[in-house]
Structure 1
Amino acid sequence: MVQYQEQQYEGINYSREDLREGEFIRCTFERCTFTNGSLEEIMTSECRFIECDFQGALLNGSIHTESAFINCNFIEANLFVSKFSNCKMTGSDFSKAKIDGITLVQGDWSYTNLRQARLEKQDLRGVRFYEADLSDANLQKADLRDCDLTRAILAHAKLQGADLRGANMDGVDFKALVVKGARMDRDQALSFLRSYGAKVD
């Protein structure tokens, strides 16, 4: 098992290395490449990954605590049953990533690309999705209470049965949503009605 602790790396190619079950503690990786790498069940704690490439990487079963993945590429990565606790993921791209069974505990997922993501029945309470692209995402029966969905793109997202109470949905296009059976608070319900031209006193 490899262990990286309080080190800084820049421009390193790890794509051919076996990093399975590795531990990464308070390290910084900048513009490093992990494409198609073996990172199953790794653990990161208070690490920073800046503009790193994880395309096609195997990260299933990995656990990340208070780490940051800024503007990283996770296209087609395997994140099955991975866990991100209080992580900062701003600007990262998860196109075609396998995220079934993922666990998100709080954290900042602003400006991320989560198009077509399968997040049904997930507990996403308090996650920040500011201006995230969740178009065509499956959020059925997801718990989105107290999320920041300000100006998030939710075009054609499936929200049937989702709990939206307390979520900030300023700037969201309600006309593009499928919200049958979703739970809303009073302010959201009023915004929904106004988006369809209703006059609410």
Structure 2
Amino acid sequence: MTTRVTADTTIGPDEWDDRDLDGETFRRVRFVDLDMMEMADDGTTFEECTFSNVRFNVSVHADAAFVACTFGSCSFFDAAFNGCKLTGSTFSGCTYGLLKVDGGDWSFTSLAGADLRGSTFDGVRLREADLSGADLTGATLRRCDLGGAALRRADLTSCDLRGSDLSTLDPSAVTLRDATVDPHQATIIVTSLGLQVLP
């Protein structure tokens, strides 16, 4: 496994060799106009990096870390993040069709207003993540820790929420039409609406 560290530089198309990434570390690096499609990323660390117009389509990231990174106008179509850490990262103007996230820590991430329709988050820590105004129509949020997450104006139509922490969800501030919840979550939602559950 390589341990090469790259810091405080800009990497554009001329500096990128379409390689897969294995255990490298990038600090405060700016990635611009890159094609990372179908890239395999095993255990790479990105700290305070900026990604501008980078295509992550069909890429697979395992046990990687994107800490306090900024993603602008990037594409994540059919990308997979398995056991990855994205704490404190910010996404803006990105596309996410069929994004798949399995496990990992996405706490304090900002996905405000993101179009996450059809995306899958399974067993992901999303504590205090900003999902306000996000479109999660038909998405899956199974077994996720959503404690303290901002969900105001989020569209959860037909979203599978089973097993996720909805203790801080305000059902009056989101769209829940046809969403799927388990019995425990149903009780939490009903109680949040000021109703009593009696036998």
- TM-score after normalising by structure 1: 0.89
Match of 1:108 among 90, 94, 105: 105
CA positional deviation for 1:191: 2.2
CA positional deviation for 1:30: 0.7
Report the counterpart of residue 97 of structure 1 in structure 2. Answer: 94
In percent, how many aligned pairs have the same letter? 33
Tell me how far apart the structure 2 counterparts of residues 160 and 66 of structure 1 sit (CA, whole Å): 31
Judge conservation of contact 1:90–1:108 (CA < 8 Å) in 2: yes
Match of 2:29 among 27, 32, 54: 32
1:23 paired to 2:1: no
1:166 paired to 2:163: yes
Judge conservation of contact 1:8–1:27 (CA < 8 Å) in 2: yes
1:151 paired to 2:162: no
Tell me how far apart the structure 2 counterparts of residues 145 and 20 of structure 1 sit (CA, whole Å): 37
Unaligned runs of 5+ in 2: none
1:5 paired to 2:2: yes
Report the counterpart of residue 186 of structure 1 in structure 2. Answer: 183
CA positional deviation for 1:122: 2.8
AA aligned to 1:196 is L
Tell me how far apart the structure 1 counterparts of residues 50 and 116 of structure 2 sit (CA, whole Å): 23
Report the counterpart of residue 195 of structure 1 in structure 2. Answer: 192
Post-superposition CA distance 1:53-93 (Å, at most 9, x none): 10222222322111000010112112222221111111111
Aligned length: 198
**In proportion to residue count, which structure has more strand?**
2
Aligned-residue RMSD, C-alpha? 1.9
CA positional deviation for 1:16: 4.3
Post-superposition CA distance 1:92-131 (Å, at most 9, x none): 1111111112221222111111122222233322122111
Judge conservation of contact 2:99–2:120 (CA < 8 Å) in 1: no
Judge conservation of contact 2:56–2:77 (CA < 8 Å) in 1: yes
Report the counterpart of residue 121 of structure 1 in structure 2. Answer: 118
Structure 1 segments (4+ residues) deviating >6 Å: none
- TM-score after normalising by structure 2: 0.90
